């Protein structure tokens, strides 16, 4: 291949089906030098050098995020309403109550959602439609200069067409709202997406982006949480709007992040303009080969069961046998399908990633 490729080009070219010498080797889950607390007991400075030690390519998780505020803006500080020692309970400015645990793999969980009825939207709305200037970092010009000659992909962020309102209401209550308060659901999603479009426009004036990522988590082991009818009525029009924005600004990838079995959901997403999805959660039964066959223009990331890293080299070697096949599918970057839990040692994580790196470096997509 005549052109010299860096991580940014390999990422974009892989997911859009262009020729590459190899796919990029990316962490996928966890931020820069992210290390579990137990790993730091033996290696107290691991969080300073882990990415360099393991040879991860790119920035942050492989692709980086501009530090703007894409969610609620101007909320007052959370109030701790109960301290149980290892667990604290907080209430935020819109009335959501959640737990925070410093000792568990899953630190936070919602006890009570803020959006219970259509009337609750009025107290939440000001934090969505606040002045976009407040969402943009003050040093955006300096950041733009740094990003100008980067060799890694950079994303615009969407807190979710479904994901944003889901975080306000919870899946169960939102399911009722689709039937009981459809106009309110549409208003909330529209207000949020309109705010993002204004924010993105301002960011695109200064920075060139490689992808838009939308966090959704709208599936579970049995498939999508919502019906195709609701997807097409409430969500698809906004994905098409985002796709149109991406096309107008030469942003080649619209990437959706959703846990669960997304095989069928991917078809709906694809029809609405999404052209990449991750993490193809293994234990949920995702089948990347089938998705790639049905949707030749859909890229993917992930596909390797993170849990194998808790069970030793034999389990890891068996799981890693999938990696070469995933690369050979085309438009696919293999990696763990989530961040590992505290039952995984650094030695096992390092072994898995070292073996994966060797496969990535020596396998060319078909």
pLDDT of 100-129, one tens digit each? 987 777 778 999 999 999 999 999 999 999
| pLDDT score of 107 | 78
Q: What is the percent of the chain with per-residue pLDDT over 90, rounded to a whole number?
A: 95
- Average pLDDT on 28-51 reads 96
* Residues 201 and 277 grouped into a single domain: yes
Mean local confidence (pLDDT), 303-323: 98
pLDDT at 106: 73
Statement: residue 220 has pLDDT above 80 = yes
What's the predicted TM-score (pTM) here?
0.96
- Single out the residue in 64, 90, 114 at which a domain terminates: 114
pLDDT of residue 85: 83
Same domain, 101 and 195: no
Report the pLDDT value the prediction gives residue 103, as an integer from 0 to 100.
76
Rounded mean pLDDT of 86-111? 90
Q: What's the confidence (pLDDT) of residue 305? A: 98
pLDDT of residue 105: 79
63 in the same domain as 168: yes
> Is residue 160 domain-shared with residue 215, that is, in the same domain?
yes
- Above pLDDT 70, what percent of the chain? 99
326, two tokens: 């995933």
The pLDDT of residue 104: 74
Mean pLDDT of 86-96: 94
Could you tell me if residue 121 is inside a domain?
no
Q: Is the domain of 202 the same as that of 329?
A: yes
Instruction: Output the pLDDT for position 1.
Output: 60
Are 322 and 250 members of one domain? yes
Residues 6+ apart with CB under 8 A from 347: none
Which residue, of 62, 89, 114, is where some domain finishes? 114
Residues 235, 351: one domain?
yes
Segment 73-88 shows an average pLDDT of: 92
Whether residue 229 lies inside any domain: the answer is: yes
| Number of domains making up the chain | 2
Domain range for 322 is 7-73+128-361
Which pLDDT does position 2 carry in this prediction?
A: 58
Q: Give domain status of residue 123, yes or no.
A: no
Question: What is the pLDDT at residue 3?
Answer: 75
259 and 162 share a domain? yes
């Amino acid at each position: 291949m005549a052109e010299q490729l860096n991580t940014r080009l390999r990422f974009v070219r892989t997911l859009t089906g262009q020729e590459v010498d190899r796919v990029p080797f990316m962490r996928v889950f966890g931020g820069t030098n992210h290390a579990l607390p137990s790993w730091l007991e033996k290696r107290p400075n691991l969080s300073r050098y882990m990415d360099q030690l393991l040879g991860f390519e790119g920035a942050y998780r492989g692709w980086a995020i501009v530090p703007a505020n894409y969610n609620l803006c101007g909320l007052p500080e959370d109030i701790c309403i109960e301290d149980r020692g290892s667990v604290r309970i907080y209430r935020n400015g819109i009335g959501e109550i959640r737990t925070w645990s410093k000792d568990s793999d899953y630190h936070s969980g919602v006890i009570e959602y803020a959006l219970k009825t259509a009337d609750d939207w009025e107290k939440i709305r000001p934090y969505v439609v606040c002045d976009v200037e407040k969402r943009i970092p003050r040093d955006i010009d300096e950041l733009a200069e740094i990003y100008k000659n980067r060799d890694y992909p950079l994303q615009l962020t969407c807190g979710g067409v479904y994901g944003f309102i889901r975080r306000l209401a919870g899946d169960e209550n939102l399911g009722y709202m689709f039937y009981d308060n459809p106009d309110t659901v549409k208003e909330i999603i529209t207000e949020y997406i309109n705010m993002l479009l204004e924010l993105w426009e301002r960011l695109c004036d200064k920075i060139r982006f490689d992808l838009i990522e939308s966090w959704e988590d709208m599936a579970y082991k049995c498939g999508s949480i919502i019906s195709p009818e609701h997807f097409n009525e409430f969500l698809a029009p906004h994905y098409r709007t985002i796709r149109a924005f991406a096309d107008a600004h030469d942003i080649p990838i619209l990437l959706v992040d959703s846990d669960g079995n997304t095989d069928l959901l991917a078809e709906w997403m694809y029809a609405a303009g999404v052209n990449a999805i991750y993490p193809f959660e293994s234990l949920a039964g995702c089948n990347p080969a089938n998705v790639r066959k049905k949707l030749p223009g859909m890229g993917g990331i992930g596909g390797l069961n993170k849990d194998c890293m808790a069970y030793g080299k034999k389990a890891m070697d068996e799981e890693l046998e999938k990696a070469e096949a995933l690369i050979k599918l085309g438009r696919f970057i293999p990696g763990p399908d989530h961040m590992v839990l505290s039952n995984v040692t650094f030695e096992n994580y390092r072994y898995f990633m070292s073996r994966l790196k060797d496969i990535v470096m020596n396998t060319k997509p078909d």
